[in-house]
A and B are shown apart, each in its own frame.
Chain A
C-alpha cells in the first residue's frame, strides 16, 4: 500500500504559466516533506521542503503548501520555465521513531512548453 501518492504521472504546462504538482499521503506520523527534481540519468536534486508544523514554504519561484487535515501537499512553480521540465518526486519522512528514510511517490513528469 503506497503511503505517498502522486496520482498524475504527467503534466504539461505552457512557459510562463503556473505548474501545480500534487501529492497525497496516508500516514499522519510523517513530520517532514520534500520535493525532489530529477533529470534523466541523474540522481534526484533537492528542491524545497516543509515541516509538518507549517502550511507554506516559499523559495523563489517554488512554493510548497501543506494541508495536514487533507493529508495533501502541492508544489507550485511560478512562472514555469522550459528548464523546469523534469520528473518531480514528493517524499515524506516517517515520524514516530523512523527518522532516517524517505518514502517517495512515483513521480510526476512535468513538461514546460516554450
Chain B
C-alpha cells in the first residue's frame, strides 16, 4: 500500500558509536537499494539487494558499513564506529523486480544521520 518508509527520520550519534537504519520497501518489491546523499551532491549508490541477497555491494565505502535483508523485505543498514564523515542523508529505494528492464526506483524520505 504505502510507499517506502525509513526509520528513524533523524539520528544523532557520537563518533565511534554504532547505528542501524531501517528501510521498509513497497510491499511486493523484490529489489531494494541503499544510497547516501551528502550536502550539495546527488545520491550515491551503496548496495543493492535482489530478494535476500546482496546483488551488488560495490558502493559500500569500507567494512564499517554492512546491510542485511534477511527475509527479503525489510532491510537494515548498519554502520560501525561511526565517523563525522558518515554524516549524510541515507536513502532507501525499491523497485518491483530489479531485473534491469527499465524499472523505476521509488525512494523513501531518508534518514538524516549526524555524527558529532
Residues in chain A within 8 A of chain B (CB atoms): 4, 6, 32, 34, 36, 41-46, 49, 51, 89, 91, 93, 98-107
Q: Within the complex, which residue of B44, B99, B108, B109 is in contact with A104, where a contact is CB–CB below 8 Å?
A: B44
Minimal Cβ-Cβ distance residue in B for A2: B42
- Chain A residues with Cβ below 8 Å from B106 are 46
B56 at interface, CB cutoff 8 A: yes
Chain B positions within 8 Å of A32 at CB level: 102
Q: B112's closest neighbor in chain A, by CB? A: A41
Report which B residues bind A (CB closer than 8 A).
4, 31, 33, 35, 40-45, 48, 50, 55-56, 59, 91, 93, 98-100, 102, 104-110
Determine if A106 and B41 form an interchain contact, defined as CB atoms under 8 angstroms apart.
yes
B91 adjacent to A51 (CB under 8 Å): no
Contact present for B56 and A49 (CB under 8 Å): no
Q: Flag if B109 contacts A99 (CB, 8 Å).
A: no
Pair B42/A89 contact, Cβ less than 8 Å? yes
